[in-house]
Amino acid sequence: MSSPDNRKRVLTDEDLSLIASEVPALCDFPGVRPWNRDKLWAAVLDALIEARTKAERAAAQQAVGAIQALEAIDQLFVRHDR
């Protein structure tokens, strides 16, 4: 959870998976456990495209917003050894 120098918090993919699984808008989508950003985006975009009712569209939009929030967390707190 912390980097070796303890100056910056560092999360793992497992942490992102745990966070995403606790978000009601995302918990039922593939790609949450285990964490797979691409699979999750694909599933949510499919849900958005396939939405037929106003409620389904709203749920898919909430999922899009939740993924965007997780991506911000990913950029700030997940170590990417690239």
Q: Which DSSP state fits 30?
A: T
pLDDT tens profile 2-22 = 445 555 668 888 999 999 999
Phi, psi of 2 (to 5 degrees): -120, 150
On the CB side of 59, CA atoms within 13 Å amount to: 17
User: What is the pTM (predicted TM-score) of this model?
Assistant: 0.80
Kindly give the interhelix angle for 54-77 and 37-50, rounded to the nearest 10 degrees: 160
Please give the torsion angle defined by the CA atoms of residues 62, 23, 37 and 50, in that order, rounded to the nearest 10 degrees: -40
Q: Which two tokens stand for residue 28?
A: 């039922």
pLDDT tens profile 19-78 = 999 999 998 899 999 989 999 999 999 999 999 999 999 999 999 999 999 999 888 887
